[in-house]
Amino acid sequence: MAIFHSLNKYRDFGLLVIRVGLGAMFIFHGYPKLMGGPAGWAEIGASTKVVGINFAPVFWGLMAALSEALGGFLILIGLIFRPACLLLLITLVIAAITHFVKGDGLPGASHAIEAAVMFTGLFIIGPGRYSVDRK
């Protein structure tokens, strides 16, 4: 439809809206995990067992919390964008697999899968014009 064709010139603004929304939500979800301390990080990091990583759960939990909180901030402002997308994608794949292993099925894993698909797309297309990484 011709009425929607003019929206093509707002692609970078659309990417900004997606980045700000996703980034804010990942900060919201990641900050409490980051503040959970070593006991919380160990619980989160234990999820790596589903892919055969059985050592240093506190470290892996801290990395997951950082990827959500700090990665969300980096996505929001568009700085070090693609590496942040990649780290969040890895975190979300582990989360989705963990939900399946626990028996939660697709309903339990859907949020992680949806976000992983979004970060895959963002990794491919980049942050857009309105970002700190803008070239």
Q: pLDDT tens digits for 11-23?
A: 999 999 999 999 9
pTM confidence score: 0.91
Residue 64 domain-assigned? yes
State how far the alpha carbon of 74 is from the alpha carbons of 40, 43, 59, 84, 124, in Å. 23, 25, 21, 7, 16
**What are 12's two structure tokens?**
């970078």
Residue 3 domain-assigned? no
- Give me the pLDDT at residue 135, please: 64
DSSP class of residue 79?
A: S
Any idea what the Cα angle at residue 54 is, between residues 62 and 102, rounded to 5°?
A: 85
Residue 127 has pLDDT above 80, yes or no: yes
Residue 72 domain-assigned? yes
Q: What is the pLDDT of residues 83-94, one digit of tens each?
A: 999 999 999 999
How many contiguous H segments (helices) and E segments (strands) does the chain have? 6, 0
In the chain, the percentage of residues whose pLDDT exceeds 70 is 98
| pLDDT level of residue 9 (50, 70, 90 thresholds) | confident
Residue 1 domain-assigned? no
- Give me the pLDDT at residue 44, please: 95
Residue 63 domain-assigned? yes
Residue 2 has pLDDT above 80, yes or no: no
Residue 4 domain-assigned? no
- Give me the pLDDT at residue 130, please: 94
- Containing domain of residue 112, as a range? 11-125
How many domains would you assign to the chain? Answer: 1
Residue 135 domain-assigned? no
Q: What does the alpha-carbon distance between residue 110 and residue 37 come to, in Å, rounded to a whole number?
A: 27
Residue 134 domain-assigned? no
Cβ(15)–Cβ(76) below 8 Å: no
Any idea what the Cα angle at residue 19 is, between residues 16 and 22, rounded to 5°?
A: 145
With a CB cutoff of 8 Å and minimum separation 6, the contacts of 134 are 78, 127, 128
| pLDDT level of residue 134 (50, 70, 90 thresholds) | confident
Q: What is the pLDDT of residues 58-72, one digit of tens each?
A: 999 999 999 999 999
